[in-house]
Structure 1
Amino acid sequence: MGSHHIDTIGGAIALPDERGPLSYTVAATQGPVRLSYVAPPAHLRAYFGSLYLFSVSADRFADATRADVPQLRFMLEGGGDYHFQDGVVTATPDVCLLGPTTAATRFQLDRPVRVLGISILPAGWMALHGGDASLLADRLCDLAAEKGDLYRLLLDRLRGADDDVDAMAALCWAELGRLVRPPRPAIWELLAAVDAWLMDEGSPRIETLAETTDLSPRQLARLTNKYYGAPPKLLARKYRALRCSARIALDGESWQQLCEEAGFYDQSHFIREIKHFIGLTPHQLQTEPSAVAQLTLLRRSLGGDVAVLNRLS
């Protein structure tokens, strides 16, 4: 499935874990941050992206996460606050379901933390939450309070796993795998069409998606809001910015050249979009990316073992 390798990104180093090819220990040069990624088993890759163990040993720490797919996060130790784009500040519950984000989201920690998280794809969202994803966009909920004891019990078991990321992953995949119910074929087809459209290297046009799915723009807006948390135009902007940020930070491409290739109006527009969705300017991505920005990009090193949508977001 995966292979041992080492990636370097602006001072962050991804080292293969000795226990298996799909676990990566990441050491950052910016701050006391540690991050390990694990790919899901093959039968769950259509539902979940990577699983990760994130820890910060400092007493106080703040950073931003890019616009992303929903995240299920178990607070193994510590806690903090999310600062959403519209100014709303929310404390993190012990079992936190963070909805899809449509802008960079800041977080602030006032003590050391350890977090076990899982990226959730649209089909996984349907299995774990089931509601309209746009209603939880740029917001979070206490999943244990909403959905019951399964998540509280899973949190207790994860807290007893002594930072063994492989053991934690096995627990999560076993428990969450029981909740998965395959969507109808028509929904699978829609999700595949939207994913392919979002991964278009250019600037995705809504007309193209309408032709592919044989749905009207109004129908598409309703369905992408439900499954992805945003209408097509906003999704296209989000994933264009995510693709460009990876090419700047990982591939070392010139952001000025990317600006012309990716269909932005001008450099000011490009800078605003990258800042909005990533939380950093193109220049910062190139020269001084934050620890979390560097480490998040390492999801791409899991390659085909996670969904393309998750590698970019």
Structure 2
Amino acid sequence: MIGERFTSRSRKTGPVANVRFSRPQRELVAFISTYYSVEISGSAGSEIEDFIQPEWGELRFHSGGDSNVAAREGRFATRPAAALFGPTSRVRLIHGRPGVLTAISFTPQGWAHLVRVNAAILADKFVAAASILSGIGTLDAALAGVSDDEARVQLLDAYFCARSAAGPPCDPRIGVVAAAVNAAGDVKVRELAHRVGMTTTQLTRGAQRWFGFPTKTLLRRQRFVRTLALLHQSNGRSIGRIVDESYYDQSHFNREFRYFMGMSPRTYFLRSRQPPMGLSTAIISNSAPGDAGGSAWH
């Protein structure tokens, strides 16, 4: 199903990013939260800058100009044409040049069922998708040969339905833990383990295998993502009240903000009010449009 659209310009007059969201077919909705396409138009050499928010794993196909992603120690790395991104805990800067990006956002269940790699191995990393997913070169070539979203969705649905049919049974504990983590307030690891009927050791191992991070980091990450989403959708509520609901005080929130975003809240919100950052602030949690979901342009 073809969904929402977002459009944004770079800070300089020039490239424009047009973002369109689509939903997978019904059999895949538990595994894939959304498909989205980003078309960047502009002169050769122009680029758009944006953030990759903390999110679950994604598969991204890119045709056209190169796209660079901030790696360790602030250095940039050129992303492969078909790249598999593991779950992320911290923001990353990305430079996108004219071309087309087609992306698939996995749920934690989808990562386990469709990607079938220990999430901790690729946490905060990306690799060439062909090293993990069979048949990805054929899919990449097919996507490059179509120009409309409906055709892209049909290709993606066919690929992932076939992969799902050949995949292992879904572990129901993943959904239970995901729901508990998303709903959790300021809880301790032991309390969360009790809620989901697991020992702390089982939960720790499962959190890293299914979500990519130790349980404590996972809880901190989700608390931060929820709070950031509320700040962007405050509807007139004071920032102080929103922060107080999740953190001990403003300084606690500021420390967590710097940890996950690499900058102060003030710096981030000043940047996010300027194009093209409006794209990434339109939707910042980890599900599809309409569900308060993932960042719009990654």
TM-score under structure 1 normalisation?
Answer: 0.80
Tell me which residue corresponds to 2:124.
138
Q: 1:85 to 1:254 in 2, by over 3 A?
A: farther
**How far does the alpha carbon of each residue in 1:31-83 deviate from its partner, in whole angstroms, 9 at most, with x for none?**
52221111222221111111000133341232211111001001122222211
How many Å apart are 1:167 and its aligned residue? 1.7
Query: Helix, strand or coil for the counterpart of 1:178?
Result: helix
Q: 1:26 is aligned with what amino acid? A: F
Tell me which residue corresponds to 1:40.
24
The residue correspondences of 1:91-106 to structure 2 (distance < 5 A) are 91-106=78-93
How many Å apart are 1:170 and its aligned residue? 1.6
Query: Helix, strand or coil for the counterpart of 1:199?
Result: helix
Q: 1:101 is aligned with what amino acid? A: T
Tell me which residue corresponds to 2:139.
154
**Structure 1 portions without partners, runs of 5+:** 1-19
**How far does the alpha carbon of each residue in 1:144-178 deviate from its partner, in whole angstroms, 9 at most, with x for none?**
24434x2111111111211x112211210111111
Tell me which residue corresponds to 1:216.
199
Q: 1:62 is aligned with what amino acid? A: E
- Maintained 8 Å contact 2:60/2:84: yes
CA RMSD of aligned residues (A): 2.8
Q: 1:294 to 1:310 in 2, by over 3 A?
A: closer
Q: 1:68 is aligned with what amino acid? A: E
Q: 1:243 is aligned with what amino acid? A: R
Q: 1:201 to 1:287 in 2, by over 3 A?
A: farther
Percent identity over the alignment is 24
In structure 2, what is the Cα distance between the partners aligned to 1:200 and 1:286? 25
- Maintained 8 Å contact 1:245/1:285: no
**How far does the alpha carbon of each residue in 1:249-273 deviate from its partner, in whole angstroms, 9 at most, with x for none?**
12343221122111x2321221232
Bigger mean CA deviation after superposition, 128-137 or 290-299: 290-299
Q: 1:30 to 1:61 in 2, by over 3 A?
A: closer
In structure 1, what is the Cα distance between the partners aligned to 2:139 and 2:283? 25
The residue correspondences of 1:160-309 to structure 2 (distance < 5 A) are 160-162=145-147, 164-181=148-165, 184=169, 187-188=171-172, 190-200=173-183, 202-252=185-235, 253-262=237-246, 264-278=247-261, 281-283=264-266, 288-289=271-272, 290-297=277-284, 302-303=289-290
Q: 1:277 to 1:296 in 2, by over 3 A?
A: farther
In structure 1, what is the Cα distance between the partners aligned to 2:288 and 2:121? 32
Query: Helix, strand or coil for the counterpart of 2:290?
Result: helix
TM-score under structure 2 normalisation?
Answer: 0.84
